[in-house]
Amino acid sequence: MFLTSEQILSLAPAQLDNLRASRYRADEQAFAASELADDDLATVRALYAMLGEVEALTGDGRQGEDRAALLALTARHDVDGLLHRVRRIGAASSSLRVAAAVHDLRGGALTTLFVHLAPRRRGLARPDAWRALFLAARDHRKVMRNVLIDLDAAARARDLAFLPHSLADLARALRAIAGVVRNEPIVIEVECATDAVIAESCVECAAIDRVAYNLMNNAIRHAARPEIFVSLRTLDHDLRVTVANAVAPEQGALVAAALARDPAALHGSFTTTGSGQGLRIVSDLVSRAYGVTSTEALIERGYVGAKLLDDAFVTWFHWPLGGA
């Protein structure tokens, strides 16, 4: 384990003010699919359709695995070519608004899905890969509908309906995340001792997924060892998600210098190797969940944060528990 209970509890106050009068609904960040270029929108729709077929094929109601059907699905959708097109989404746009949306369309659970999919197509995969494919496809489709508010009107209507989501389901999804660090598969340790309602609709759960996957993908990208530690804690009225990864000394020095200059730097545009969008999206979504209007206030009051603890880079965020 990277962090002790005392370290996790010391990251931020145990009680945070929720300034919203209602639960998060994603309306404030509405992004219309028509704002994407035509080619990009066609790619997004193709990806959404492919993920829908993966979700249906691997879903909980199916008995056993069907590798032949999976191979037929990947061939029918030319998934290698589709992945190449997905990586190009937004390349022709200079809009910061589009860049933020594209970041999560290309990120989220998509990396995990393709990491699990590649060995499965070769007949080699870890035992839980079939369910991991289901979780990744399900979660990324929800993320896509959260990013593009008019991508799927019927599903969007279902996303807005009251439906409690549990902390246990988030823990299962995070344990299924896959990645590679220094040519070794990532090992994810998820600490989750209790259960709770963390979201009251699918659209709210998708926002939590966006935040959690951004922290996880960031940790995998920068980890010095193939180990990620995640803590899921319920406080009086809030969920606290903490992610820790080991960092190399030179990476740690860059982060320490940035945080010394500005404690909110990493949740702005600062980056060492990526786009700088991931933690900015984290702060934007959490600010909407709590009704806190500035990144500086989020950082000062501990709603989100990042710090170095010895050789570990630690990030965290909060989300109001269901009914809070």
Q: Is residue 121 part of a domain?
A: yes
Write out the two tokens for 238.
């809030």
121: burial class by Cβ within 10 Å (0-12, 13-18, 19+)?
middle
Q: Within this chain, do residues 203 and 298 fall inside the same structural domain, yes or no? A: yes
Q: Within this chain, do residues 192 and 313 fall inside the same structural domain, yes or no? A: yes
The pLDDT score that the predictor gives to residue 91 is 85
The pLDDT score that the predictor gives to residue 298 is 94
Write out the two tokens for 95.
């809009």
The pLDDT score that the predictor gives to residue 191 is 96
Q: What's the total number of domains in the chain?
A: 2
Q: Within this chain, do residues 87 and 197 fall inside the same structural domain, yes or no? A: no
Which CATH number belongs to the domain containing residue 89 in this structure?
A: 1.20.120
Q: Tokens 């606290």 map to which residue? A: 240
Q: Within this chain, do residues 40 and 138 fall inside the same structural domain, yes or no? A: yes
Q: Can you tell me the distance from the alpha carbon of 203 to that of 163, in angstroms, rounded to the nearest whole number?
A: 10
Provide the whole-model pTM: 0.91
Q: Within this chain, do residues 218 and 246 fall inside the same structural domain, yes or no? A: yes
Which CATH number belongs to the domain containing residue 287 in this structure?
A: 3.30.565.10
The pLDDT score that the predictor gives to residue 275 is 46
Q: Indicate the residue among 148, 178, 202 that finishes a domain.
A: 148
Q: Is residue 212 part of a domain?
A: yes
Q: Is residue 153 part of a domain?
A: no
Q: Within this chain, do residues 10 and 76 fall inside the same structural domain, yes or no? A: no
Q: Is residue 96 part of a domain?
A: yes
Q: Within this chain, do residues 181 and 305 fall inside the same structural domain, yes or no? A: yes
Q: Can you tell me the distance from the alpha carbon of 148 to that of 141, in angstroms, rounded to the nearest whole number?
A: 10
For residue 11, report the phi and psi dihedrals to the nearest 5 degrees.
-65, -35
Do 166 and 205 touch, CB atoms closer than 8 A?
no
The pLDDT score that the predictor gives to residue 260 is 86
Q: Can you tell me the distance from the alpha carbon of 78 to that of 97, in angstroms, rounded to the nearest whole number?
A: 29
Q: Within this chain, do residues 130 and 178 fall inside the same structural domain, yes or no? A: no
Q: Within this chain, do residues 96 and 240 fall inside the same structural domain, yes or no? A: no
Write out the two tokens for 79.
């998934």
Q: Within this chain, do residues 19 and 78 fall inside the same structural domain, yes or no? A: no
Please tell me the number of Cα atoms within 13 Å of 125 on its side-chain side. Answer: 23
The pLDDT score that the predictor gives to residue 152 is 95
Write out the two tokens for 53.
């077929």
Q: Within this chain, do residues 10 and 79 fall inside the same structural domain, yes or no? A: no
Q: Domain of 67?
A: 31-148
Burial 68-100 (b: 16+ CB within 10 A, else e): eebeebbeebebeebeebbeebbeebeeeebeb
The number of residues making up the chain comes to: 324
Ranges in the chain, pLDDT < 70:
1, 28-30, 61-63, 123-125, 268-278, 324
Residue of 282, 276, 31 lying closest to 144 (CA atoms): 31
**3-state DSSP helix/strand/coil % of the chain, to nearest 5:** 50, 15, 35
